[in-house]
Amino acid sequence: MRIAVVVHGYPPVECAGVELVAKEQAEALAARGHAVAVFARTLDPSRADGDTADELVDGIRVRRVVANHGPRDSFLDYEDTLRFDEAFRIFLAEHRPDVVHVQHTILLSPNLLRVAREAGAATVLALHDAYYLCHRIFLLDRDGRRCAGPELGARCERCLSDVARPGEPRARFDFMARALDVPHVLVAPSHALAARYAESLPFLAGRITVVEPGIEPVRTDEAARRRRAVRTAADPLRLLFIGTWLPHKGLDLLIDAVCALDPARYELSIRGGGVAGREDYVRDLQARTAGRPVRWDGAFAADELPAILDAADALVLPSRCDESYSRVVREARSAGLAVIAPAVGGPSEALTHERDALLVAPDDAQQLRAALERLVSDVALGARLAAAPAVFPDVATGVARLEGVFDDARRRASRAEELPSVTVAYVTKNGAPWLEASLQAVRAQRGPFRLVEILAIDSGSTDGTLEILARNGVRIRRIAPHEFGHGRTRNLAVREAAGDVIAFLTQDATPADDGWLTGLVAALRHDPLLAGVWSRHAPRPDCHPMEWRMLAEFPLFRGHDAHAPPVVSAARGNPEYASNPERFYWFSNNAAAFRRDVLLRWPLPEVDFAEDQAWARRVLEAGFRTALVPSSLILHSHAYSAWSNLQRNFDHARAMHDDLGQSDDLTLGDALRAAWRESRRDVAFWADFRRRTRARVAVRWGLRALAYHLGAFGGRWLGAHARHLPAGLSGRLSQHERVRAGG
């Protein structure tokens, strides 16, 4: 297999954690017979961004591209930049990889993922930290406090106001979400990091494969293990910190804690180093440790690690952030050290509290100090933690798993470049009047997608519907009338569907043109956080004034024509959602499209009515978005009688109360007054629309409009009070129950 590795730095020039993992895995893959080449960023202020130079590092061909990360025109240009694309295209053309393994794109650009796919390579992205969720990388805010998550970029707006213009942090979040939809496979070193990504970007749920990179067990001096086993209370505890000297690693928390200890009871060696621009942070900590048994021993070569670990009794990792993996705690345990580490993230998956480590809440100075005091004073505890077994996957095991991931990515890549496949699904019962025209309009759809099938779930049609479906090439699944449910039946269609996108149409909805499906599919492809999208509705030519006005004045349709962008709804990061959720979770299954994988994970609720809105509320609160797509238009309207309108509104109001918890304070008097008011508005609207006198319209439509609205508001009032009605009366008032009974 030909493998290209992309990373933001590569040894011996850059030697932090991800860079070391990249080198270990590249060399292990080469040792297993793969042709490996590396595309790595490097810093060189004397040269221009994008300049390249080749070298051979321990048998691996490395092309270093200059990325100085200097001043940019905008905040977004630091990451959404194309300045390295051409150099990467040349590299890919020369190496011709089967797989591009992107270890990290920080200081380069996530756009390289798109370049790799355009070159025809299977693309695998490793998630080593929270960079794609957080500009500050570690999900700590600008004051160093732990962040609960980006909230669709809303928290980022506040956190990054010192470095970005308004709107740019949200744009970064959306850019990164789209970038994470590009790779064929994503891998993470821990379940904790995978879960953190899926919580913020729920479309990633189930799409991240956990592959521990593994470590090489540290070979230590047996004398060091014996020394730890026989240490007495008179011997100072030898503490060790290894890491970057920055606040996210919590070095200041450790200094605060050890300064509260008896200096005769411990020694602390601090290894690693600082970074440019944060010298004051380090100088302050060094000043605070003056006169104490704290040594600032600094950086070290890789081959010095065994001796450094031999000299210590316990490693302390006081990180504020969630460590995604932490090879250092695994190396320390393999060398026989006790460990103090955060009780979250990667360390919590490798260590067990009180068995081989003391796990503390991150950014909790009190817990950290208490753990250190225990370890210093309780010699037996330290010996027990140090002696606990320590077995972790090695690099060879991790690379063997990676080979499986690469094979999976190649299989996915062979399918993924096809146009999106679409199933159009109907839920039918006695739908003959409009069904033929609807099916013909579906067959006429044109656009960048593959219509792989039309599917119908029929619940007992007797009016010729089945014949219409058959002659239009529809795949039919028949169920008994009593098995029907708005959510249940559509979920059955989802399980049956062959397409990656499933578009639902009701049997009385007709696409208005041959672009109905294009707009829906395009919106889903553009934004991976869109769980579902729905179409704008227009009345049929024979629609009566009451429904025509309702569609013309519907707030979400008004002011949006075919050229308007999608109207996106979100719950997270939306301060208006709590006060008016219905405005945002309004959704219509009359014509809607969904990612099938999302519907399989978040199926439509099996409720009697308003399953579309109940579903929208569920996915919005899970972190997805929904959208009305104005460019996608259907013809859909009804000529309901007053009684039919009462039944439909009864079902809707009851569902809003029972399934969505909405209260309705409409009184019977309010219902009567509203019916009269809306009837007069219908007459005025139709007179203006048809350019007729109000008197003429009132004679023709006045009484029908009043009856129609009495049905609507009466049904709404009855539905809101359905729990107080006799069961028999509720059954008569419900259209849904009549349909299920076979009516």
Which tens digits make up the pLDDT trace of 477-533? 999 998 999 999 999 999 999 999 999 999 999 999 999 999 999 999 999 999 999
Percent of the chain with pLDDT over 70: 97
pLDDT bracket for residue 713 (50, 70, 90): confident
Maximal CA-CA distance, the chain:
105
pLDDT bracket for residue 739 (50, 70, 90): low
pLDDT(643) > 90: no
| 3-state class (DSSP) for residue 166 | coil
Helices 379-387/222-229 angle, 10° precision: 140
The Cα 82–Cα 711 span in angstroms is 60
The Cα 112–Cα 91 span in angstroms is 12
The Cα 232–Cα 265 span in angstroms is 11
Q: Does domain 222-387 have CATH number 1.10.3720.10?
A: no
pLDDT(632) > 90: yes
CB 563 within 8 A of CB 536: no
Closest CA to 394 of 221, 212, 242: 212
Q: What pLDDT score does 160 carry?
A: 96
HSE-up of residue 425 (Cα within 13 Å, Cβ side): 28
Which pair of structure tokens corresponds to residue 248?
A: 């996210």
**What average pLDDT does range 126-130 have in this prediction?**
97
Which pair of structure tokens corresponds to residue 655?
A: 């569902």
Closest CA to 112 of 136, 135, 81, 134: 81
Q: What pLDDT score does 552 carry?
A: 86
Q: In the block, which residue shows the tokens 């320390």?
A: 332
Q: Which of 443-457, 538-552, 606-620 has the highest mean pLDDT?
A: 443-457
CATH 3.90.550.10 domain position(s) in the chain? 418-638
CATH 3.40.50.2000 domain position(s) in the chain? 2-210, 222-387
DSSP H/E element including 51: none
pLDDT(100) > 70: yes
Percent of the chain with pLDDT over 90: 75
* CATH class of residue range 418-638: alpha beta
Sequence-ordered strand ranges (E) for 231-344: 237-244, 266-273, 294-298, 314-316, 338-342
Tens of pLDDT, residues 190-207: 999 999 999 999 999 999
Closest CA to 597 of 619, 614, 613: 619
Residue 509 DSSP label: -
CB 22 within 8 A of CB 399: no
The Cα 625–Cα 570 span in angstroms is 5
**Summary mean pLDDT of the chain:** 92
pLDDT bracket for residue 417 (50, 70, 90): low
Closest CA to 595 of 524, 526, 491, 522: 524
Closest CA to 392 of 358, 324, 346, 323: 346
Q: Which of 411-420, 581-590, 731-740 has the highest mean pLDDT?
A: 581-590
pLDDT bracket for residue 685 (50, 70, 90): confident
The Cα 100–Cα 105 span in angstroms is 12
pLDDT bracket for residue 416 (50, 70, 90): low
pLDDT(432) > 60: yes
β-pair type (450-458, 475-478): parallel
Tens of pLDDT, residues 365-412: 999 999 999 999 999 999 999 999 999 999 999 999 999 999 999 999
pLDDT(742) > 60: no
Between 22-36, 109-123, 252-266, 673-687, the lowest mean confidence (pLDDT) is in 673-687
The Cα 127–Cα 103 span in angstroms is 7
The Cα 524–Cα 532 span in angstroms is 7
pLDDT bracket for residue 743 (50, 70, 90): low
Provide the total of helices (H) and of strands (E) in the chain, helices listed first: 28, 23
pLDDT(660) > 80: no
More confident residue, 641 or 214: 214
Between 100-114, 382-396, 642-656, the lowest mean confidence (pLDDT) is in 642-656
The Cα 126–Cα 42 span in angstroms is 19
CATH code at 2-210: 3.40.50.2000
Closest CA to 338 of 374, 300, 298: 374
The Cα 212–Cα 233 span in angstroms is 38
Q: What pLDDT score does 711 carry?
A: 80
pLDDT(741) > 60: no
Closest CA to 645 of 579, 580, 733, 711: 711
**What average pLDDT does range 59-68 have in this prediction?**
95
Closest CA to 533 of 567, 494, 508: 567
* C-beta neighbour count of 682 within 10 angstroms: 26
The Cα 494–Cα 381 span in angstroms is 56
Closest CA to 155 of 174, 134, 175, 176: 134
CB 329 within 8 A of CB 319: no
CA distances from residue 369 to 253, 255, 296 in whole angstroms, order as listed = 9, 10, 20
Amino acid at 722: A
Paired residues of 452 in beta bridges = none
* C-beta neighbour count of 743 within 10 angstroms: 11
**What average pLDDT does range 687-714 have in this prediction?**
87
Q: What pLDDT score does 444 carry?
A: 97
pLDDT(640) > 80: no
| 3-state class (DSSP) for residue 380 | helix
User: For residue 351, which phi and psi values (nearest 5 degrees)?
Assistant: -125, 155
Which pair of structure tokens corresponds to residue 1?
A: 């297999």
- Laid out side by side, the sheet with 266-273 consists of 294-298, 266-273, 237-244, 314-316, 338-342, 357-360
* C-beta neighbour count of 374 within 10 angstroms: 13
Cis peptide before 12 (omega within 30 of 0): yes
| 3-state class (DSSP) for residue 504 | strand
Kindly tell me the sign of the dihedral angle through the C-alpha atoms of 231, 235, 241, 242. negative
pLDDT(659) > 90: no
Q: What pLDDT score does 434 carry?
A: 92
Q: What pLDDT score does 740 carry?
A: 58
Paired residues of 187 in beta bridges = 126, 209
More confident residue, 17 or 187: 187
pLDDT bracket for residue 131 (50, 70, 90): very high
The Cα 398–Cα 104 span in angstroms is 17
Q: What is the pTM of this model?
A: 0.87
CB 206 within 8 A of CB 601: yes
Q: What pLDDT score does 639 carry?
A: 72
Q: What pLDDT score does 218 carry?
A: 87
Q: What pLDDT score does 669 carry?
A: 84
Amino acid at 633: L
The Cα 274–Cα 251 span in angstroms is 11
CB 253 within 8 A of CB 435: no
**What average pLDDT does range 116-127 have in this prediction?**
96
**What average pLDDT does range 285-301 have in this prediction?**
95
Q: What pLDDT score does 657 carry?
A: 72
DSSP H/E element including 564: none
